[in-house]
Amino acid sequence: MTRPLGVILAGGLATRMGGGDKCLLPLGGDSILGHVITRLRPQVGAMALNANGDPGRFASLGLPVVADSIDGFAGPLAGVLAGMDWAADQGAEQIVTVAADTPFFPADLVARLTEASAGQAHPLVLAATPRQGDGTRSMSKGGRHVRHPTFGLWPVALRDDLRRALQGGTRKVVIWTEAHGGREALFPGEGAFFNVNTPQDLAQAEGMLE
């Protein structure tokens, strides 16, 4: 089976980090985004970066940069759609998305998402972990889980449906995924999806590297 294409979602406003591209902040001799790229590259067939504004600031990465096609800050679903449109141009059937500020996501992310999609006509799976704190509540798989909606497997075939949903005002990821029979892939431990939102988080990430 052909590996899905990877899309790194970097379209957030980073307000808690003071604005700007927090994914370009240094972490352990690289940038946060550099760690994300290193972790994703062996899991996918090719990669693109979803980001808005001047794409030149990411030129050194050598990745295609795809911007949201929906006006205004429409959240992660707009980035998913941009990734789907890019993947459609490549002739791909699926994409996997990851967040640009989450440097320690699982090395088997794509494998587990793909395994969870078995039997789906349109593979659509979000990553989830056992509930340990705040997050999106889910009662599936017999317990309460935290879903990580920027980490998912998405079918390119549904891109026009997603476009219509966004144009109609849908912004919440799980509302759209549940409407299409979306599933969860359960990962052991919420720490795998630790994301850098604040300067304190960045210091913690440095400690995690050590």
Write the pLDDT tens digit of every residue in 137-176. Answer: 443 444 478 999 999 999 999 999 999 999 999 999 999 9
Would you state the pLDDT for residue 93? 97
Q: What is the 3-state secondary structure (H, E, C) of the chain?
A: CCCCEEEEECCCCCHHHCCCCHHHCEECCEEHHHHHHHHHHHHCCCEEEECCCCHHHHHHHCCCEECCCCCCCCCHHHHHHHHHHHHHHCCCCEEEEEECCCCCCCCCHHHHHHHHCCCCCCCCEEEEEECCCCCEEECHHHCCEEEEEEEEEEEHHHHHHHHHHHHCCCCCHHHHHHHCCCEEEECCCHHHHCCCCCHHHHHHHHHHHC
Residues paired with 50 in a beta bridge: 9, 66
Q: Which residue has the tokens 């075939």?
A: 157
In the predicted model, is pLDDT for residue 56 greater than 60? Answer: yes
- What pLDDT does residue 13 have? 52
How confident is the model over 20-35, as pLDDT tens digits? 689 999 999 999 999 9
Looking at residue 166, its pLDDT comes to 96
Domain that holds residue 132: 5-209
Report how far residue 11's alpha carbon sits from residue 100's, in angstroms, rounded to the nearest whole number: 9
Q: Tell me, what CATH number does 104's domain have? A: 3.90.550.10
pLDDT in tens, 177-202: 999 999 999 998 768 899 999 999 99
Q: How far apart (Å, rounded) are the C-alpha atoms in residues 48 and 76?
A: 15
**What's the confidence (pLDDT) of residue 210?**
80
Give the pLDDT confidence score for residue 97 in this predicted structure: 98
Question: What is the predicted pLDDT for the residue at 2?
Answer: 83
Amino acid, single-letter form, for residue 52: N
Number of domains in the chain: 1
Is the confidence at residue 12, as pLDDT, over 70?
A: no
Q: Average pLDDT, stretch 55-60?
A: 94
Give me the percent of the chain exceeding a pLDDT of 70.
89
User: What confidence tier does 124 reach under pLDDT thresholds 50, 70, 90?
Assistant: very high
State yes or no: pLDDT of 14 exceeds 50. Answer: no
pLDDT at res. 141: 42
